[in-house]
Amino acid sequence: MAQIFSRSADTWLRLTLAGVFLALSGSLMVVLMFDRSDYRTQRGWVVDQPVPFSHAHHAGDLGIDCRYCHASVETSSEAGLPPTHTCMSCHSQLFTDADVLAPLRRSLANNTPLHWQRVVKLPDYVYFHHAVHVQAGVACVSCHGRVDRMPLIAKAEPLNMGQCLDCHRDPAPNLRPRDQVTSMSWTPPADRRQLGEQLMQAYHIDTRGLTDCAVCHR
């Protein structure tokens, strides 16, 4: 058969078509994966911090309670991030000239706070309140995961509307005694719902209206 194109041109045409096909299906895959990925929810991501602070070391190995550094978590909407002098209560004696702590010493010397980058953040149109949850016996671990095992902090839960609503509809099986909210290793009793129902009464938790849009969008 007479060939219009040379053999090599034909091969190039096939290769080009195959390339175009792969590129198109590839980008479709990327779009689909992106929509379901942790990229969108930013789950599991870590962020560069001025000092590579490790929760695994401080909250895990050393067992420092969350409230030592997140001091307003029981009383206000924000948990709060620790000021430099909280770190210095130990690091004025410990690792005093370690390179990783240089930004900390500079912050103290210049009296300028460290700029910690936020990792867990809701969109501005959502209202959240820490103290309400802590007082109701909702544990840090329910929303932030095993922070005591994280060398660098990452978002552990999607914290999307569905997750908020799931618990707001039926909080009982998620509750624990208030004095255990910061514990990462508390083990629930066999009948957790029964304990939860008791705590609902003791803490006067009323689920009526808890799923109203205005609770979180005000």
Q: Which of 43, 71, 136, 178 binds ligand HEC (CB under 6 A)?
A: 136
Q: Do 60 and 73 form a contact (C-beta atoms < 8 A)?
A: no
Residue 122 makes contact with ligand HEC by CB under 6 A: yes
Yes or no: say if 129 and 164 are a contact pair by the CB < 8 Å rule: no
CA atoms within 13 A on the CB side of 71: 7
Which of positions 18-37 make contact with ligand HEC (CB under 6 A)?
A: none
The nearest distance, CB 71 to ligand HEC, in angstroms, is 10
Segment lying near ligand HEC (by CB under 6 A), choices 3-11, 13-21, 25-33, 87-95: 87-95
Q: Which of residues 173-192 bind ligand HEC (CB under 6 A)?
A: 174, 181-182, 184
Q: Which of 27, 37, 92, 160 binds ligand HEC (CB under 6 A)?
A: 160
Output the six-digit token pair for 53.
């602070």
Give me the least distance between CB of 56 and ligand HEC, in Å please: 8
Among 119, 177, 178, 192, binds ligand HEC (CB under 6 A): 119
Q: Quick one: 140 exposed, middle or buried, by C-beta within 10 A (0-12, 13-18, 19+)?
A: buried
Is residue 49 a contact point for ligand HEC (CB under 6 A)?
Answer: yes
Least distance CB 128 / ligand HEC (angstroms): 4
Nearest to 86 by CA among 104, 61, 99: 104
105 binds ligand HEC (CB under 6 A): no
Please choose, from the candidates 88, 82, 81, the residue with its C-alpha nearest in 3D space to the C-alpha of residue 105.
88
